[in-house]
Amino acid sequence: MKAFESKKSGRGSKIVVLVILVAIVGAGFVVSTLTPAKGAIGVGDNPYTRPYPMKHGYWKHQEEFYAFASGGQQGGIYVYGIPSMKLLSEIPIFNIDPAWGWTLANKEVKEMLTDPYTGEVVTTGDTHHTILSRKDAKYDGRWLFVNDKKSARMARMDLDTFRTKQILWLPNVNGGMHGFHSGPNTKLLVGNVEFEGYPEKKIRDYLNIPIDKLKGPYVSCVFGVEVAEDGTMKNKWQVWGPWQYDMVRVGWGAMDGWFINTAYNTERSVNTVGMFKRPEDYVFFWNIASIEKAIADKKYITSDEAPDVPVIRWKDVECYAAPCPLNPHGLDLEPSGRFAIVGGKATTIVRHIDFLKVKAEIDAKNFVGEEFGIPIISGDKTSGDIDAGLGPTHIEFDNEGYLYAGFFVDSDVKKIAMGGPWTKKHGKEPWSIVDTIPAHYSVGHLLVPGGDTAEPYGKYLVIMNKLTKDTFPPHGPLVTECHELVRIDQTPCPLIDQMPLPPETHYAQAIPVEMIAKKTKFIYDMKLPPKKPNVVYDYGKKEVHVVMTAVRSFFIPDSFTVPEGWKVNLTLTNVEQSYDISHGWALCDHDVMESIDPGETKEIVYTASREGVFWYYCLWFCSELHLEMRGRMIVIPEKEWSRDLEWKAK
Amino acid sequence: MKAFESKKSGRGSKIVVLVILVAIVGAGFVVSTLTPAKGAIGVGDNPYTRPYPMKHGYWKHQEEFYAFASGGQQGGIYVYGIPSMKLLSEIPIFNIDPAWGWTLANKEVKEMLTDPYTGEVVTTGDTHHTILSRKDAKYDGRWLFVNDKKSARMARMDLDTFRTKQILWLPNVNGGMHGFHSGPNTKLLVGNVEFEGYPEKKIRDYLNIPIDKLKGPYVSCVFGVEVAEDGTMKNKWQVWGPWQYDMVRVGWGAMDGWFINTAYNTERSVNTVGMFKRPEDYVFFWNIASIEKAIADKKYITSDEAPDVPVIRWKDVECYAAPCPLNPHGLDLEPSGRFAIVGGKATTIVRHIDFLKVKAEIDAKNFVGEEFGIPIISGDKTSGDIDAGLGPTHIEFDNEGYLYAGFFVDSDVKKIAMGGPWTKKHGKEPWSIVDTIPAHYSVGHLLVPGGDTAEPYGKYLVIMNKLTKDTFPPHGPLVTECHELVRIDQTPCPLIDQMPLPPETHYAQAIPVEMIAKKTKFIYDMKLPPKKPNVVYDYGKKEVHVVMTAVRSFFIPDSFTVPEGWKVNLTLTNVEQSYDISHGWALCDHDVMESIDPGETKEIVYTASREGVFWYYCLWFCSELHLEMRGRMIVIPEKEWSRDLEWKAK
């Protein structure tokens, strides 16, 4: 127990040893060893002992939560189980991933990855903030949203298929979107643009504040996205102002009807050092109804790029600023919606801001100043500080009145008893540190299942570390990430597992298995009867339209001819009705590769650019005849082509 | 222990229960529970019990092997630990993966992914056969090779950096490469082209056998790749003939100087059903010296596409055929190099062919027939069959004289005691089944560490299942793969763990941790001093050359200007000298994203296609000032550009 001999947790290890010894002499011990089950307490009070030999499907019965973690520069979403910490799936979004059927040859995918404002296809992304949809500020298991920081895009995944169904692009900005969060019923999503921009002249003129293209300063915006009943996202409004915005939370409970966000660069600088000049920055409080009123009152313009999206001035809506510790990053809302918790990442301070007090100051119009017309609320009257450690990053919450704050420099997580009404629940000194959980190393985001909702599930904490170093065997200069699973329904909080995961997750959320498992789709609904396999030649457009089916172990048709240089438009249906019988379609010597699941139809578009015989083949080892599941595209030079060479039904 | 109540393994579970009960009353039990260590036998004789709380770095000390698994349609390599079954790293190869610094904006990567014969960039691939380099037919830890089936490419990864260093394209074919294996000292790699092709006229004429572009039949080849001392691959020869080839093994020991491969489509058909018409197919035995002699004797032509690669006729080299069960897939060589084991995947037969007997027949010129001029060896005289189960796929070996054959239809692995000299070692009846290991489900490839070498490490077996179905919680119609870890140094062989992994691994190999860990690079060797940050404008070529450094938490320069439409050529160096301090470089609203590790330099090329202010930013949360680690590319319309706007050193 070397790792636990440190001062911080030495006490904890002794307690655990004692519990183990007690458990060993317990009569129930033998039985529980032989029949480990979900939640059973077995050997040495270790609820995570697994059977040996292992039983088939063991992990399935152990899983309590699905975790959805943004992949960062990987561009998609990782799905893993808690407490197994095993990677279950990946959801491709802003990346190319033929293993999950996500390529530019796929017509639907290419359309989603095409910027409607520039026409450019962008196949790389930087996923940051996952948003599980919610009802009454609690997860409801309908959708998962996530944003791409690099290109300012947002995606919606359906949680019955675990696949991306929509990508929405943000107009008027050149990327750099950061925070992203949902209202309590996922009718409104709010996003922040972190990187200051130089928008089109119409917007610059409307804002009427100093902007210099070469030297800065620039301007930025917070924006709203409307979510329809079927999940369809639509850009609803943008509020532009002098500052950039980083993290955002849309309020519930005590903060219903408001959202809050941070700006770490209130200096409006364009370089690293300049962004640290002020001793404190701001948390902003925005009244959502005031934005809707500005639109109703026609207090907005629209840009040439997006004539349907209202662009509103910051000073035409109700917004207030409160001081916050230097260069904040983590900004989170505790379950009752009353206390906003913010960490100044270049300080040792975690600040709790009481929205009831903020509201009282607003109602009394009691301000200590203004900047760019935004009233400033007294920090002394509305907040308190915890001097908790170096480099506070993100904050999550359990259901017992504790917050968990990660510290990048200290490489630990502080478990802190909250004040206000929570004091009665946990009985600890308000805003006091009750445990220090070591992390390995340099904590970024945290995940507590439901930890950003009105009713956290608690029990587990996942620490998403930014550095891993020597935690796993060496594997070259680029090091895997490390997610650490910790049990938090006891103090001290024991480490359960360390999980390597490809770089680099930012935020993650977790939802109970039963909320998703019961609604999962196993087979797509196939339109019956499926289209009859066919090949049609369009000599006007120089296009071949191929309708093809896939079933163990045949593609029908198993060959077709096409004149060189023509476009091929292939409609491919997997007519299987068996779970897990996916097929692939790869075209040799072409950049074309797809995956089609049972009952699914996909449209594949490419050019038959070179003459020759090119096999297409199944990518999934679908039966013992899988290798033989292949067919031929025969490309004939146009000058050798005649209608006699057309494919004909046998 | 429900999963083990089946007939097959019921006996095993009772033994395990007994061992558990014995262990519980043992005196050493308490101590081993409290201080679990590598290889320690703890609770219930479970060597895989882990401590609770877990210690930091626990898994690192548990790992015995690195496993390298081809990603199939994922396009790269997965690296995981055995026995942790945790994903440690990914090696991008034929795919785009900015998380690991592998994109088309990277000059070196784009060059590697460009087909030298067509000029086309191919960003999707289907990795199949991993090859760990070897010395004296044992792994030596220098390199890892793998092939892309779709585009007939091969890649070499260096095992000090875990990164791809070379991609070699195969000329004269339109993709469809399958088997790939190494000679005992990795000076020669041999590859098979599975998909029959219609090569250029020069080759067709030289072969002088019936070939029809539209209807088939076609021809195919086996080929040799020379590996230089520094690992550089070069196409060495191609032997073309009437058949396609699937799996290949280059011999050692008793089979030194020969390689063997299979053809499942000796029918030369172009459709699935036609490929199953013959009751048996062939295993071919090729003499390597005879190929070298054909080249020395100038018995070859070269194609217009690849004037430096000898194209040899099958009948100008020494090649023999032996009958093999219908539509073989698995073809493997046991550790002494004497017995080739082949499974007819559409049968129940696993056949063992004694090369000593084959050699005797060859030396006596004792043949039972010929086809296309290839002498056919008697199967009766040289081989024996094991009627072992439905759908035999691949075969691996341990160091105790057992082979492990996977069965796709039966969904199990048979542990079979081998005959010949091995009988003395294990004392079992030769070629008899000693254990049936259940698999979940439909076994494809198998992995025993060192299982394709002269000295397998044994101990573990990984079953790579092609179907997973209900093994893990549901996650939509596309199901994860399942790798099952089994202990094989005891019989019955117990299941240790089930690991989900993204689709779809084909072959995998494993090498002891100590062989790789001791040579791993942590930081790249940086050329000192690094180039001074600078921006140079080339008005003739309309190119901007930017030299930039990255260090916590600055890019220098932190801004540069460029005329609209110009190409940007960025040389970026991470000047960090600390392990795990990687930086990223993402350019907002452009398809540009890179990762640079400590000491590394990369060349990034893209076009500044639109005017505006575009931030570039670090992708790795490298310090508490990471968010502020950003800079601006300011793109000015050409008509507004003047030399005054050029970037100048401050």
CB contact under 8 A, A52 and B44: yes
Q: Are residues B8 and B110 in the same domain?
A: no
Distance between CA atoms of A137 and A35, rounded to whole angstroms? 38
Q: Residue B508 — left, alpha, or beta (φ > 0 → left; ψ -120 to 50 → alpha)? A: beta
Give me the pLDDT at residue A526, please: 87
Q: Are residues A202 and A290 in the same domain?
A: yes
- Beta strands B543-551; B567-574: pairing state: parallel
Q: C-alpha angle with apex B335: B331 to B336, nearest 5 degrees?
A: 110
- How many domains, in total, are found in chain B? 3
Q: Are residues A574 and A607 in the same domain?
A: yes
Closest approach of chain A CAs to the CA of B361, in angstroms? Answer: 32
Task: Tell whether A525 is covered by a domain.
Answer: no
Q: Which two tokens stand for residue A495?
A: 């480490």
The answer to whether B39 faces chain A, any CB pair under 8 Å, is: no
Cβ-based contacts of A12 with chain B (< 8 Å)? 53
Residue A2 has pLDDT above 50, yes or no: no
Cβ-based contacts of B44 with chain A (< 8 Å)? 33-34, 43, 52
Which residues pair with residue B344 across a beta bridge? B328
**Are A339 and A333 within 8 A, CB to CB?**
yes
CB contact under 8 A, B621 and A466: yes
Concatenated DSSP letters of B18-35: HHHHHHHH-TTHHHHHHS
Unique residue bearing structure tokens 């790992």 = B63
Give the three-class secondary structure for B290. Answer: helix
User: What's chain A's average pLDDT?
Assistant: 93
Unique residue bearing structure tokens 């091969």 = B154
pLDDT digits (tens, 9 = 90+) for A277-319: 999 999 999 999 999 999 999 999 999 999 999 999 999 999 9
Residue A33 has pLDDT above 50, yes or no: no
Least confident interval from A388-392, B16-20, B89-93, B401-405: B16-20
For A288-334, give the secondary structure using H, E and C.
HHHHHHHHHCCCCECCCCCCCCCEEEHHHCCEEEEEEECCEEEEEEC
Distance between CA atoms of A195 and A174, rounded to whole angstroms? 9
CB contact under 8 A, B150 and A589: yes
Q: Are residues A553 and A566 in the same domain?
A: yes
Q: Provide the 10 A C-beta neighbour count for residue B158.
A: 18
Which ipTM was obtained for this model?
0.92
Closest approach of chain B CAs to the CA of A413, in angstroms? Answer: 15
Give the three-class secondary structure for A104. Answer: coil
Indicate which of A588, A614, A645 best probes the interface with B, i.e. most B CBs within 10 Å of its own CB. A588
pLDDT digits (tens, 9 = 90+) for B488-537: 999 999 999 999 999 999 999 999 999 999 999 999 998 878 789 999 99
Task: Tell whether B523 is covered by a domain.
Answer: no
The answer to whether B644 faces chain A, any CB pair under 8 Å, is: no
Predicted TM-score of the model (pTM)? 0.93
Q: Which of B552, B634, B627 is nearest to B596 (CA)?
A: B552
Distance between CA atoms of B103 and B111, rounded to whole angstroms? 11
Task: Tell whether A522 is covered by a domain.
Answer: no
Task: Tell whether A472 is covered by a domain.
Answer: yes
Closest approach of chain B CAs to the CA of A367, in angstroms? Answer: 30
Cβ-based contacts of B475 with chain A (< 8 Å)? 66, 79, 88-89, 162, 520
pLDDT digits (tens, 9 = 90+) for B326-355: 999 999 999 999 999 999 999 999 999 999
Residue type, B575: V
Closest approach of chain B CAs to the CA of A464, in angstroms? Answer: 11
pLDDT digits (tens, 9 = 90+) for B245-262: 999 999 999 999 999 999
CB contact under 8 A, A55 and B24: no
Residue type, B431: W
Residue A582: its H or E element: none
| CATH code, B641 | 2.60.40.420
Distance between CA atoms of B241 and B284, rounded to whole angstroms? 12
**Are A461 and A446 within 8 A, CB to CB?**
yes
Q: C-alpha angle with apex B544: B541 to B547, nearest 5 degrees?
A: 140
pLDDT digits (tens, 9 = 90+) for A379-398: 999 999 999 999 999 999 99
Q: Say which residue, B32 or B75, is predicted with more confidence.
A: B75
Unique residue bearing structure tokens 């127990």 = A1
Give me the pLDDT at residue A25, please: 32
State which residue of chain A sits closest to B153, comparing Cα positions.
A589
Q: Provide the 10 A C-beta neighbour count for residue A8.
A: 14
pLDDT digits (tens, 9 = 90+) for A495-518: 999 999 999 999 999 999 999 999
Cβ-based contacts of B87 with chain A (< 8 Å)? 87, 480, 500-502
B 43-82 residues with CB below 8 A of A? 43-60, 63, 66, 71-75, 79, 81
Given B49, B73, B98, which is nearest A124 (Cβ)? B98
Concatenated DSSP letters of A156-201: EEETTTTEEEEEEEPSSS-S-EEEEEE-TTSSEEEEEE-S-B---H
The percent of residues in chain B predicted with pLDDT above 90, rounded, is 91
Q: C-alpha angle with apex A314: A313 to A318, nearest 5 degrees?
A: 120
A 353-382 residues with CB below 8 A of B? none
Q: Provide the 10 A C-beta neighbour count for residue A271.
A: 16
Cβ-based contacts of B583 with chain A (< 8 Å)? none
Given pLDDT bands bounded at 50, 70 and 90, which one contains residue B44?
A: low
Q: Which of A549, A553, A583, A590 is nearest to A568 (CA)?
A: A590
Task: Tell whether B56 is covered by a domain.
Answer: yes
Indicate which of B144, B471, B475, B640 best probes the interface with A, i.e. most A CBs within 10 Å of its own CB. B475
Q: Which residues contact B151 (CB under 8 A, 6 or more apart)?
A: A588, A589, B94, B115, B122, B125, B169, B175
Given A469, A503, A587, which is nearest B579 (Cβ)? A469
Q: Are residues A170 and A24 in the same domain?
A: no
Given B30, B55, B517, which is nearest A24 (Cβ)? B30
Phi and psi at residue B513, to the nearest 5°? -55, -45
pLDDT digits (tens, 9 = 90+) for A461-476: 999 999 999 999 999 9
Task: Tell whether B289 is covered by a domain.
Answer: yes
Q: Are residues A19 and A94 in the same domain?
A: no
Q: Provide the 10 A C-beta neighbour count for residue A276.
A: 17
Task: Tell whether A524 is covered by a domain.
Answer: no
| CATH code, A416 | 2.130.10.10
Q: Are residues B38 and B150 in the same domain?
A: no
Q: Which of B569, B541, B602, A197 is nearest to B560 (CA)?
A: B569
The last residue of a domain, from among A469, A491, A517: A517
**Are A110 and A122 within 8 A, CB to CB?**
no
Unique residue bearing structure tokens 């207030």 = A320
**Are A213 and A206 within 8 A, CB to CB?**
no
Q: Are residues B268 and B399 in the same domain?
A: yes
Cβ-based contacts of B30 with chain A (< 8 Å)? 21, 24
Q: Are residues A512 and A578 in the same domain?
A: no
Least confident interval from A24-38, B328-342, B479-493: A24-38
Concatenated DSSP letters of B561-614: EEETT-EEEEEEEE---STT--EEEEETTTTEEEEE-TT-EEEEEEE--S-EEE
**What's chain B's Rg over C-alpha atoms?**
28
Q: How far is CA A261 from the centre of its chain?
A: 18
pLDDT digits (tens, 9 = 90+) for A518-544: 999 999 998 878 789 999 999 999 999
A429: DSSP letter = P
Unique residue bearing structure tokens 């519990």 = A19
**Are B197 and A614 within 8 A, CB to CB?**
no
Give me the pLDDT at residue A44, please: 55
Q: Which residues contact B427 (CB under 8 A, 6 or more apart)?
A: none
Q: Say which residue, B1 or A637, is predicted with more confidence.
A: A637
Given pLDDT bands bounded at 50, 70 and 90, which one contains residue B34?
A: very low
Give me the pLDDT at residue B9, please: 35
Give me the pLDDT at residue B46, please: 85
The last residue of a domain, from among A517, A547, A579: A517
User: What's chain B's average pLDDT?
Assistant: 93
Q: Which two tokens stand for residue B355?
A: 């090369």
State which residue of chain A sits closest to B78, comparing Cα positions.
A502
Task: Tell whether B522 is covered by a domain.
Answer: no
pLDDT digits (tens, 9 = 90+) for B529-551: 878 999 999 999 999 999 999 99
Q: Which of B124, B123, B128, B269 is nearest to B195 (CA)?
A: B269
Cβ-based contacts of B272 with chain A (< 8 Å)? 553-554, 558, 625, 628-630
Residue A616 has pLDDT above 70, yes or no: yes
The last residue of a domain, from among B62, B85, B103: B62
Q: Which two tokens stand for residue A323?
A: 């001081």
Which residues pair with residue B571 across a beta bridge? B547, B603
Given B79, B504, B591, which is nearest A124 (Cβ)? B591
- Beta strands B630-636; B559-563: pairing state: parallel
Q: Quick one: B44 exposed, middle or buried, by C-beta within 10 A (0-12, 13-18, 19+)? A: buried
- Residues of the domain holding B513: 65-517
Give me the pLDDT at residue B529, please: 81
Concatenated DSSP letters of B173-242: S-S-EEEEEE-TTSSEEEEEE-S-B---HHHHHHH-S---TTT---BEEEEEEEE-TT--EEEEEEEEES
Residue B29 has pLDDT above 50, yes or no: no
A 436-495 residues with CB below 8 A of B? 438, 440, 442, 444, 466-480, 494-495
Give the three-class secondary structure for B356. Answer: helix
Give me the total of CB pairs closer than 8 Å, taking one residue from chain A and one from chain B.
Answer: 512
Q: Are residues B180 and B92 in the same domain?
A: yes
Q: Which of B87, B594, B25, B2 is nearest to A90 (CA)?
A: B87
Give me the pLDDT at residue A529, please: 81
CB contact under 8 A, B195 and A617: yes
Concatenated DSSP letters of A196-220: -B---HHHHHHH-S---TTT---BE
Overall residue count recorded for chain A in this entry: 650
Residue A264 has pLDDT above 90, yes or no: yes
Residue type, A4: F
Inter-residue long-range contacts of A426-435, CB under 8 Å, 24+ positions, other chains counted: A426/A400, A426/A401, A426/A402, A431/A352, A431/A384, A431/A386, A433/A386, A433/A388, A434/A402, A434/A491, A435/A491, A435/A492, A435/A493
Phi and psi at residue A590, to the nearest 5°? -130, 160
Which residues pair with residue A432 across a beta bridge? A417
Q: Are residues A510 and A539 in the same domain?
A: no
Indicate which of B89, B117, B648 best probes the interface with A, i.e. most A CBs within 10 Å of its own CB. B89
CB contact under 8 A, A475 and B21: no
Q: Are residues B56 and B69 in the same domain?
A: no
CB contact under 8 A, A617 and B176: yes
Give me the pLDDT at residue B8, please: 36
Distance between CA atoms of B448 and A247, rounded to whole angstroms? 49
State which residue of chain B sits closest to A502, comparing Cα positions.
B89
Cβ-based contacts of A176 with chain B (< 8 Å)? 588, 615, 617
